[in-house]
């Protein structure tokens, strides 16, 4: 393990958690997006992460892919809505706000943990440099 691998591993964690936060914030922002019944509903985005070189201590993590929610959404009876069909229905995304808030907290905590590692490694490396100044 190289001396600065800590930055690479934690940096990959920061990037992955930031992308996770971006996906969750996009989902939350669109939880009330209304579409006509003949259109696809907004599809929630889910970030799938994977370990890089797992077990070696040198890899980190990366976003493997994004998966998308159900385009069918859920039908809601709102006959006064401008996008309502002849039967009075509109389509909303099938996104659970409680689940998204939980996902946001987990992603935020992971981001904070990786940032803390970077800050502590920086402080340790700076302290080591100060030893040489004697």
| pLDDT (tens digit per residue) in 2-31 | 667 888 889 999 999 999 999 999 999 999
CB 114 within 8 A of CB 20: no
How far apart, in whole angstroms, are the C-alpha atoms of residue 34 and residue 23? 19
CB of 33 closer than 8 Å to CB of 42? yes
Report how many domains make up the chain.
1
Q: Render pLDDT for 26-85 as a digit per residue (tens, 0 to 9).
A: 999 999 999 999 999 999 999 999 988 877 766 889 999 999 999 999 999 999 999 999
Domain span including residue 72: 5-131
Dist CA 55 CA 94 (whole Å): 37
């Amino acid at each position: 393990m190289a001396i600065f691998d800590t930055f690479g591993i934690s940096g990959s964690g920061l990037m992955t958690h930031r992308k996770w936060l971006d996906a969750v914030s996009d989902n939350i922002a669109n939880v009330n997006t209304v579409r006509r019944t003949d259109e696809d509903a907004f599809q929630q985005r889910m970030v799938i992460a994977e370990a890089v070189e797992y077990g070696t201590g040198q890899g980190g993590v990366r976003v493997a892919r994004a998966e998308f929610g159900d385009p069918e959404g859920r039908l809601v009876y709102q006959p006064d809505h401008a996008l309502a069909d002849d039967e009075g229905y509109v389509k909303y995304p099938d996104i659970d706000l409680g689940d998204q808030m939980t996902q946001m907290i987990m992603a935020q905590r992971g981001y904070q943990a990786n940032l803390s590692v970077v800050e502590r490694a920086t402080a340790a490396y700076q302290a080591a440099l100060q030893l040489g100044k004697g």
